[in-house]
Amino acid sequence: MSNSQPFAPYRNLIISGYDGTSRYTLIRRIADAVGAPCLDLETEFQLRERHSLDELRQMYGEAHARLLLKELCSEFALQRGAVIAVPAAALLETDIRERLLESSWLLVLNCQLNEMLRRLHVQHGARFHDPNVRRAFLHHIRQERKLQTLGNLDVLDTTDLSLEQTVTYALTFWRHHELARLRL
């Protein structure tokens, strides 16, 4: 960040929402800017379980997949000063959301649907023309939009923002909330 004071956050920054760009690229850039660890819930889940959350649901049922997700989110809640990407599906679970927000600030990304679809098309090219791939993207978009119905969330509309502008906003958001916490 351009601010001359070093920024060493205590609480985590959770990035959720779906704007048609790579959430991992965004969290990596934010984390690099402050020297913070970077975690992605979906990636970590797949590395540990050797299957995606959806695959585990199909193989072992919803209860087992939810238990594993809850355990991983509890571990993430123990982190300090990390940037964490969490999909809306996890945050829609009240107990998981409350546990994560005990130690984190949440910033939900959003953008207009036409811009989101344009970004997905640019990012995925010919794969985006496959109806099954497109259907999966639309399912994720619907999940992410449900998160906003919870209300009282900080939402950033990235429709007209570049990746750099989004990173700058997220860092400013994080710094502002950390400073406000210290003043209490």
CATH number, position 112: 3.40.50.300
pTM of the model: 0.83
Reported as a single tens digit per residue, the pLDDT across 139-175 is: 778 877 888 888 788 999 998 999 999 999 999 999 9
Reduced to 3 states (helix: H, G, I; strand: E, B; else coil), residue 10 is coil
> Does residue 1 fall inside a structural domain?
no
> Does residue 60 fall inside a structural domain?
yes
At residue 16 the predicted structure's pLDDT band, cuts being 50, 70 and 90, is very high
> Does residue 2 fall inside a structural domain?
no
Residue 1: its pLDDT value, please? 45
Tell me, what amino acid is at 122? V
Of residues 137 and 5, more confidence is placed in 137
Per the prediction, the chain carries an average pLDDT of 86
Of residues 59 and 35, more confidence is placed in 35
Q: Are 46 and 69 in contact (CB under 8 A)?
A: no
Q: What is the mean pLDDT of residues 46-74?
A: 85
> Does residue 182 fall inside a structural domain?
no
Residue 2: its pLDDT value, please? 47
Tally of structural domains, the chain: 1
Query: Residue 45: pLDDT above 60?
Result: yes
Share of the chain above pLDDT 70, in %: 95
140 lies in which domain range?
A: 12-175
Q: What is the mean pLDDT of residues 119-147?
A: 81
> Does residue 5 fall inside a structural domain?
no
> Does residue 66 fall inside a structural domain?
yes
Alpha-carbon Rg for the chain, nearest whole angstrom, is 17
> Does residue 154 fall inside a structural domain?
yes
Residue 62: its pLDDT value, please? 82
> Does residue 7 fall inside a structural domain?
no
